[in-house]
Amino acid sequence: MIHNAAAVSLLLISVLSFVAHGRPISDDFIRLPSDRSFIDRAFPHSYGDDDIGGTRWAVLIAGSSGYWNYRHQADVCHAYQILKKGGLKDENIIVFMYDDIAYNEENPRPGIVINHPLGDDVYKGVPKDYTGENVTVKNFLAAITGNKTAITGGSGKVVDSGPDDHIFIYYTDHGGPGVLGMPTYPYIYADDLVEALKQKHASGTYKSLVFYLEACESGSIFEGLLPEGLNIYATTASNAEESSWGTYCPGEEPSPPPEYETCLGDLYSVAWMEDSEDHNLRTETLQQQYELVKRRTANENSGYGSHVMQFGDIGLSKDDSLFLYMGTNPANDNYSVIAENSLRQISSRAVNQRDADLLHFWDKFRKAPEGSSRKHEAQKQFFEAMSHRMHIDNSMKLIGKLLFGIEKAPEVLQTVRPAGHPLVDDWDCLRMMVRTFEAHCGSLSQYGMKHMRSVANICNAGITEQQMAEASAQACDRVPSNPWSSLNKGFSA
């Protein structure tokens, strides 16, 4: 602060000297590049609206469908509102969401989506760039890399950025070791995502890129895969071997309005968004937000929460303000970051991402009138989900025993590689083994992604495709026909 004060004093003395000698201060003098850089060095985060040196771009994606996954699309809609208030233009914000929540028959407020128990509608005005069956891996990666010719359907918008531009990517959904869910098949595999980011860097079409990732085991997407030197900074809701959490769920405090039977948001996601809403983002750095979000998401005294991680060029987080990527709401110009009061009320508990669907079905069953068709439907949905879970869990355990023996199987399937190492050596093997499993046992689906580490370890152990096919055929005599097996969607790999 002393150096900053001295710098300002010298600048004022210089200006006053010109005035005292009767020499006019022209506009050209005020805008001299040397003077601009002098101020920037003194106040590295005091950017003006046109002083970031390029354009801000954003890609927002919810990777799920279904009303029980309400929170993911609510997260994305909320993120859009923050960026819009921050000054980003719709032409530079690309939104991927299945768009089956706002007007879903389960939604108690048709056409309205909220991300907080007392929150306003975040759905209004959100661009419908890629919805329904156009929310695909191919379109998502093409949008990031700016490959217009690879886009199928949707608005056709891509990140058509230049070398001075700043890019913000936010993904929220279910995940598993090395994989991120999508409402369509296939899913996003970590090597494909990181390869797309490398391609974007090689094209020289951005100055810096920030990636916020909400999913179970989300740390595994970048662990051992995202190198330094790409000017990419990534944070994840969890490390490589733990779940992330939904929040503002039925039974929590604060709880959703009583007519809601689903979680309204995700813990990591609402943490960074509520922090962004409360502060002047010109002065808050990425690192400051990371620390605040990390503390709120861990919530270590409550028995739930996850460990927020960071990857890539971590130095960016210390140097760059959030303003570079999100802009800032002018209404917050007088608010600075104060660690002690930067967090809103923390809910009393949260729900494991993988159990949020069960919570929805149970709350729906609990509230439905006795003997009603709604109560019967909720009971059916709950039991179908549980049956699918048991099938996937038991099938994977049996395959492990057939391949490695009863005693050794648990150790092999549950092995976690040391920090800094990728999940699997051969990603093509991982895809092949997933397809083989699903051909005999049905889709892993959003719940079964938890077993991706087991499949990766089968690859790492040198098991062949034929061995996997034989074991899968023995473990599963048929592919289940319930909705959770997603028979009609194809393979997730």
Catalytic residue among 116, 174, 279, 451: 174
Angstrom distance (rounded) from CA 116 to CA 394: 37
Residue pair 182/137 in contact (Cβ under 8 Å)? The answer is: yes
β-bridge partners, 58: 93, 168
Angstrom distance (rounded) from CA 45 to CA 277: 18
Neighbours of 152 (CB within 10 A): 12
Q: What is the DSSP letter of 321?
A: B
Token couple for 215:
């999913």
Token couple for 211:
């990636």
Q: What is the DSSP letter of 169?
A: E
Catalytic residue among 216, 249, 459, 476: 216
Residue pair 339/293 in contact (Cβ under 8 Å)? The answer is: no
Give the count of alpha carbons within 13 A of 179, CB side only: 26
3-state helix, strand, coil in the chain (%, to 5): 45, 10, 45
Angstrom distance (rounded) from CA 187 to CA 63: 9
Q: Which residue type, as a one-letter code, is found at position 428?
A: D
Neighbours of 89 (CB within 10 A): 11
| Residue 307 annotated as catalytic | no
Token couple for 362:
């149970």
| Residue 166 annotated as catalytic | no
Angstrom distance (rounded) from CA 55 to CA 422: 33
Angstrom distance (rounded) from CA 200 to CA 195: 9
**CA dist 307 to 52, 147, 328, Å?**
32, 34, 27
Residue pair 143/59 in contact (Cβ under 8 Å)? The answer is: yes
Pick the closest to residue 115 from 265, 269, 321 (CA basis): 265
Q: What is the DSSP letter of 120?
A: P
Residues noted as catalytic: 174, 216
